[in-house]
Structure 1
């Protein structure tokens, strides 16, 4: 199972806003530049987050987007749900009636456990957890690779950890 680009960029955009707003609106252009995504694509991502009451928008000079709630009250599952919908590896987990074998399927339980595990992880973490993960500087790690401060080369897992899984794909 793979989360969509929309969801990954959406999560990064919300994190970017939390890290750069200081309570004031953040311009979409600035987020797009920092995250290496087109402004028009970002606008499509932000809409559901505003409608879902994660973000608010302000028009005019000094306008932009900001968090509607405190970061510790925004569950990561809310962001994923708004952008991705329900998470399940196969349709029968959410809609058993789509498969005539659902009642006797040997693998359906596994797919259900996977969905429950993902829901559990995302539902138990808030935006603050991303902001403070491992005590790293999240402002730098939320930027595309080309914009990050350069560090001396590191071999293995430490290198991947610095990148934080936020590289452009």
Structure 2
């Protein structure tokens, strides 16, 4: 799995919108604050709208705002929706499995499966709200703390 500019820029836009709840932001402002071209943002925001993450308003004071609450936006879902499977290899993918002729005795598949599971574990437990509140923590020793919350987000 590789997150392309598409996934990165979409997350930048969602973070900006999440930091401005209820405020309609114009495409030019989003472009300036995320350092993404207006042309590319138009395509991304249209896709995010079709996926139900943002809503748009037309007119002189038009623009974009979040359609969902930040705690309802799961980063794993956003990445899958935009980038496809989280697995680094097709043979380890759950959603887009691709058979391999060497799979029967493959000693790499357990590694790719672990990588997939680890990526999924982190992304699926992270919401936009977690990003906005800087709840992402680093690995320390044997501790695997991904998101520090005082309580579970609603909808989980």
Structure 2 length-normalised TM: 0.79
The Cα shift of 1:89 comes to: 1.0
The Cα shift of 1:59 comes to: 0.9
> Residue in 1 aligned with 2:106?
105
> Residue in 2 aligned with 1:42?
41
> Residue in 2 aligned with 1:159?
none
The Cα shift of 1:44 comes to: 1.4
Structure 2 vs 1, CA of residues 134 and 73 (structure 1 numbering), >3 Å: closer, same or farther? Answer: closer
> Are 2:108 and 1:84 equivalent residues in the alignment?
no
Which structure's residues are more often helix, by fraction? Answer: 1
Q: Any stretches of 5+ residues in structure 2 without a counterpart?
A: 137-156
> Residue in 2 aligned with 1:61?
60
The Cα shift of 1:62 comes to: 1.8
- Aligned-residue CA RMSD in angstroms? 1.6
The Cα shift of 1:15 comes to: 0.3
The Cα shift of 1:134 comes to: 5.5
Deviations 1:43-81 (CA, angstroms, capped at 9, x unpaired)? 111122111111111111321111111101111112111
Paired residues in the alignment total 133
Large movers: runs of 4+ above 6 Å:
none
Q: Any stretches of 5+ residues in structure 1 without a counterpart?
A: 136-169
Structure 1 length-normalised TM: 0.73
